[in-house]
Structures are given as C-alpha cells and as structure tokens.
Amino acid sequence: MQLSAVILARVLGYIETFDLSPRGTIFYPEVVPQIAERYRFQKFPTSIEEFDESKGIEFHEGKAGNKVIQKFTIFNTLLVVETRSSTDDSKQIMEEMLAWGADKLGLNYKPGMINRFAYVSDLSFYSDVPILGVSHAVTRLADKTSKALSEIWQEPIRYDPINVMVGHDPLSRKYGIAPFSISRRAEARFAENKYFSEAPLPTDMHLAMLEEFEADLKRI
C-alpha cells in the first residue's frame, strides 16, 4: 500500500462555547480579527450575520507555525479544525488556539475542558492487492454481471467491486458515527489501483488499519 494523499484530517472538540465566556464578555467583532491575524486566515467573518454559532463561524486558509489550517469553525457545542497533514496536527492546533485564546482574549479555558474528541480522516492510496474483492461470492457476482451485460450490450463490459463499507446500526445511538469506507478513487481508472477511504479515526490509526486490511487480504 502506498499513500497518495491526506485529503482531510478533521478534529471535532466537544465543548460548549458558553463555558469559554461564562459572563458573555467575548465580543466577536473584536476577537475575530485577532484570531484571523494570529493564524493568518485569508477568509473570516466580517458581518454580524456571519457571527452565528448555530450555523458555524468559519475561518479559512490559515497557518499555525508551519502547519496549514484548511478550516476552523466555531459552533455552539464544538470546535472543528481541518488540516491536510494529520488529525494529530489538527488536535494540537485546536488546543494551542484555546491556550492562546485564554492568554490573549480572556477565554475561560483550562486543559481538559474538551470532554470528547471525534475524527474524520479522508485518504487516497494505491494498492496492488484487489482490496475490494473481499469475498469470492462478490467477485463471482461481478464476473456474472460482466458476462450478462456484455451479451446485452454486445460489447465488452467489465464490472468489479467498487466499495467496501462497515458501520454501526444507525438506530443504535442518537448521533451517528461515520462508517469506515473504501472505494475506487473518483476520476481514476480501475487499472490504476487508486482508492479513497474515509474513517471516523485519527489519521495514523486509519492508515494502520488500511495496511492491516491489505495484509489480511494477502493471506486469503
């Protein structure tokens, strides 16, 4: 397996923004420009309509040291940081932002106030292993479909498995968690063996599980 790109490394930190300003002393028209300057955001809220936490207060294209921030969003009950390097970087940036905010903006923040983190990792990669052919029955179904369609259309048509996905019963919990999926990479020919995967996991764990999955298939 060869990593092609980290497409998204998103971290969600669950914290009520009311707790960061218990007496309502944070004035967005004042603090937003300071955040934008500190992290060099190229797009940030400038009007009262954009200071709406229920919809998300969005900052785009910034930097924290040598780490590029794709997007930073403030919601009522969570903060979201997106990079294209790793979820570890995204989490570190979020924690650094809060520490800086406590020091410079007067946020009521102490380490440990975020009660839960969640992750979304999007990767593209190459694999010479038929990583979507997890079942002989599925492979046979693809072969039979190919044969039937070739006869119907009077031209060679090849069907192959196009995705693998695992997830939880959506009725088993109030708020759903994204599935772990592997699919053919859009705009890439099947012969390129290029794939896309999304998982609700940290980047490094996502990569490790893909490598383990590939190794398991090699043993079949």
How much is the pLDDT for 219?
A: 87
pTM listed for this prediction: 0.93
Reduce the DSSP state of residue 151 to 3 states and report it: helix
How much is the pLDDT for 21?
A: 94
Sole residue written with tokens 């007067």: 106
At 65-75, the pLDDT tens digits run 999 999 999 99
Of 126, 127, 123, whose CA–CA distance to 204 is shortest? 123
What Å distances lie between residue 69 and 5, 90, 92, CA to CA?
16, 8, 11
How much is the pLDDT for 188?
A: 96
Amino acid at 190: F
181 alpha-carbon distance from chain centroid = 12
Residues of the chain with pLDDT under 70: none
Amino acid at 55: K
